[in-house]
């Protein structure tokens, strides 16, 4: 069973609207959680990285939240743009296993004009 579950699997939003992506994980012990953006035909690019003690982290129009108690994270995209169309991947790092990551399946976001 995948230790990182993302929802929804895909969504379509109108340009200018906001959206929120969800990530639930069971990885333990927890080290940090990252959100990556993967454009079609490109490798994943890091948006945010949060450790246990961080609740919120922003990167421009992207805001990630983390609730380490409930093992949930979200990624909020504000005022979406066409260039936001991509797959967004939630990735959790295990403590004591340096470099080893657990990947979610990703949420495919399509922003339409």
Partner 1 sequence: SAVISQKPSRDICQRGTSLTIQCQVDSQVTMMFWYRQQPGQSLTLIATANQGSEATYESGFVIDKFPISRPNLTFSTLTVSNMSPEDSSIYLCSVDPGLGQPQHFGDGTRLSIL
> Does residue 29 bind partner 1 (CB under 8 A)?
no
CB of 105 to partner 1, least distance (A): 5
Q: Tell me the C-alpha distance between 52 and 83, whole Å.
A: 30
Q: Is the distance from CB of 62 to CB of 35 less than 8 angstroms?
A: yes
State the number of binding residues for partner 1 (CB under 8 A): 21
DSSP 23-78: EEE--SSEEEEEEEEE-TTS--EEEEEEETT--EEEETTEEEEEETTTTEEEEEE-
Residue keyed to tokens 């991947």: 89
Residue from 29, 42, 60, 96 binding partner 1 (CB under 8 A): 42
Query: Residue 43 or residue 113: which is nearer to partner 1 going by CB?
Result: 43
Minimum Å gap between C-beta 33 and partner 1 is 10
Contact between 45 and partner 1 (CB under 8 A)?
Answer: yes
Considering only residues 71 through 110, tell me which ones interact with partner 1, judged by CB under 8 A: 89, 98-101, 103-106
Binding of partner 1 by 1 (CB under 8 A): no
Element (H, E) at 20: strand 19-25
Q: Which residues form the interface with partner 1 (CB under 8 A)?
A: 2, 32, 34, 36, 41-46, 49, 51, 89, 98-101, 103-106
């Amino acid at each position: 069973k995948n230790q990182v579950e993302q929802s929804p699997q895909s969504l379509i939003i109108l340009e200018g609207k906001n959206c929120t992506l969800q990530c639930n994980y069971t990885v333990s012990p927890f080290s940090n959680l990252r959100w990556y953006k993967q454009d079609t035909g490109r490798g994943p690019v890091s948006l945010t990285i949060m450790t246990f003690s961080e609740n919120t982290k922003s990167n421009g129009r992207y805001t990630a939240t983390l609730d380490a108690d409930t093992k949930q994270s979200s990624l909020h995209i504000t005022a979406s743009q066409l260039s936001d169309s991509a797959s967004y991947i939630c990735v959790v790092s295990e403590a004591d296993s340096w470099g080893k990551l657990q990947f979610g399946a990703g949420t495919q976001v399509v922003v339409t004009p």
